Amino acid sequence: MQESSISPSPLAGRHLVLGLSGGIACYKAAELCRALVKAGATVQVVMTDAAAQFITPVTLQALSGRPVYSSQWDAREGNNMAHINLSRQADAIVVAPASADFMAKLLHGGADELLSLMCLARPIERVPLILAPAMNREMYAHPATQRNIAQLRADGSHVLGVGAGEQACGEVGDGRMLEPDELLEELNAFFTPKVLAGQQVLITAGPTYEAIDPVRGITNRSSGKMGFALAQAAWRAGAQVTLVAGPVSLPTPRGVQRLDVQSAQQMQQAVQACVERATVFIASAAVADWRVDGVAEHKIKKGEGGQAPALSFVENPDILAGVAASERARSGQLYCVGFAAESHDLLAHAQAKRQRKGVPLLVGNIGPDTFGRDDNALLLVDEHGSQELARASKAQLAAQLVAIVAQRLKA
């Protein structure tokens, strides 16, 4: 039995230049800076004079732990070439916010202050430029801005999307800079190897809820966190991801299409509607084995003497076994991964379940040790034996599992 190592955050050890051009969205850059440092990156902040009208360099220096640069004539650099030195040290230059004016300047090679100088002087082949636009909705929709964005992308810059909603001017529409957590996730994805590029991944997550009457039902303690982490990790790795989620309150991972269901039958219907397009199916949901035979139309009242109502059950569809038995799965066009939550004898139960379901890979865990928690320990079982993934955060385990699935697809 072999044990796998734990993978770090994609941003750990990265050195990023965080550039701020002028715009009210500069206040979001402060939270982004803090989040990047927390993720293990070092951050060198470079601000334009316009950015300093919205937020002070002192704030960004406190959050980054490094002096902020704003002038190409900064004498702290021995050769007085901050635009060369700072760009050569970076793993990427991230401009957030990137104003309409700043992007227009970049498009034409303008370089009249430090940040634009750095963007122009960076070694293009090894220091990517990532832009997070931020502006009024009319400015964003203007044909000139859209042409500039298209050309910047054609020139190799990575221009992110924008958010929609209420703007500082009081208008409502597209053009808001993405929120700090969205920007952080975009950067995590940018630095994640695209080992699942071109793959269509279908994932089930969370519990199912089987109604007894309009106010009662049968469910389980699954939080859905592992399945949601897998969806996030698969999207970061370049896949198109569809997530079929049972009744959980978790936020939808960025870039993921989410379908909400309640019962096992609803989950089966959603899976059947999507599985023909999938190349990978990961069944991490804790699907109820049984449902009540005949849901009461009204709330079942307490009987005299406290006598419990008599309930009869019927077996729910086996979603994983059904998909694994399909022609696409048997021919290798669809790779299936199952999950097993056990209370004891994990290896024996996982091996038996893998054989019974007919899947190439079965992921087992001890349910009471993981339900509702942010960490887990996994046991991977296939035809060759078993492999342990040591206890770690579910995000780290998801990244490891996605890498393993990618290796098997390649093989």
- The residues that are catalytic are 169
Q: Is 378 helix (H, G, I), strand (E, B) or coil?
A: strand
What single-letter DSSP state applies at residue 332? Answer: T
| DSSP per position, 122-188 | S-TTTS-EEEEE---HHHHHSHHHHHHHHHHHHTT-EE---EEEE-TTS-EEEEEPPPHHHHHHHHH
User: How much is the CA Rg of the chain, to the nearest whole Å?
Assistant: 26
Those residues with Cβ within 8 angstroms of residue 78's Cβ, 6 or more apart along the chain or in another chain? none
Four-residue CA torsion sign, 409, 197, 190, 114 = positive
Beta strand extents in 286-384 (DSSP E only): 290-292, 313-315, 335-342, 361-366, 375-382
Beta-carbon contacts of 81 under 8 Å, excluding residues fewer than 6 positions away, are none
* CB-count burial class (<10 Å; 0-12, 13-18, 19+) for 248: middle
Question: How far apart are alpha carbons 296 and 328 in whole angstroms?
Answer: 39
Contact 270, 244 (CB under 8 A): yes
Q: Which residue has the tokens 């492999």?
A: 387
Q: Which two tokens stand for residue 384?
A: 């060759």
- Determine the length of the chain: 411
